[in-house]
Copies of this chain bind each other. A is one copy, B any other.
Amino acid sequence: MKPDNTIVPVASAMVGGPKLVLCGGPCSVEDRDQILASARAVKAAGGQLLRGGAYKPRTSPYAFQGLAVDGLKLLEEARAETGLGIVTEAIDVETFDLVERVADCIQIGARNMQNFSLLRRAGRARKPVLLKRGMSSTLEELLMAAEYILSEGNYHVILCERGVRTFADHTRNTLDLSVVPAVQALSHLPIIVDPSHGTGKRDKVHPMALAAVAAGASGLIVEVHPSPDRALSDGFQSLYPGQFTALAADCRALWDLLRERKNATL
């Protein structure tokens, strides 16, 4: 339809393509049972990608920092069992190789959106990159951060809106969905939305996921956990598996409707 737009293949998913891309999974990989249960739930809901951090950038040095290499191994196991593609974060150049080996898509987190050495390293990776918008990043800064990756030769960049910092206190961040059409007007890169960090509240994830699809996002990245109340991080914003199934079904129905109407107009 839009021959100029970049479609980024991640495992079986084509981000920016004709199907809605759904990525789900826990904030952090915690143990085998947790990640396998999460992966099965995502798979069962029709998701194509599994998220989960092995290396976690945490505000406090005393908080859980992720399982590191052990986490990566568990992600490989989850992929082997379910066939889901793996999206996991690289937090520094030192551990980048390890992440690159395992990931189907390497996430650069919001705090690292202007970690230019990390962006350059991602630009030399042979895997697609999911670049999250910084907490107070302008659109121009986001596109320039992507340019750091592109300029090193990696054209497989997916942008991600995950909420910005404002005075508003009814959500953890303010999800700025207008950046979705704004990116689409200026850039050929696909953009997805993270309604979990974007709201920070479990009961706001479903409506804002629908809103993101309606605004034109190519996909969603959503926190899902088999037992959110026992999660080591972000439990309050993680969906129960059943909630993710419902979200996925509603969002796909919405996607199909909007696509049909767009095709009918052409």
Contacts and interface: CB of A to CB of B under 8 A. Distances in A.
A181 B207 contact: yes
A214 to B, nearest CB: 4
A168 B175 CA distance: 12
Contacts of A167: 136, 138, 164-167
B203 A185 contact: yes
A182 B265 CA distance: 34
Nearest to A179: B170
A207 B216 contact: yes
A91 interface: yes
Interface string A32-68: 0000000000000000000000000111111000000
A229 interface: no
A177 B177 contact: yes
Interface string A224-244: 000000000000000000000
A139 B168 contact: yes
Contact of A147 (B61, B147, B164, B165): B61
A215 interface: yes
Contacts of A246: 265
Given A57-B116, A92-B116, A178-B207, 7 more contacts: A59-B114, A59-B141, A164-B174, A167-B167, A177-B177, A178-B198, A181-B204
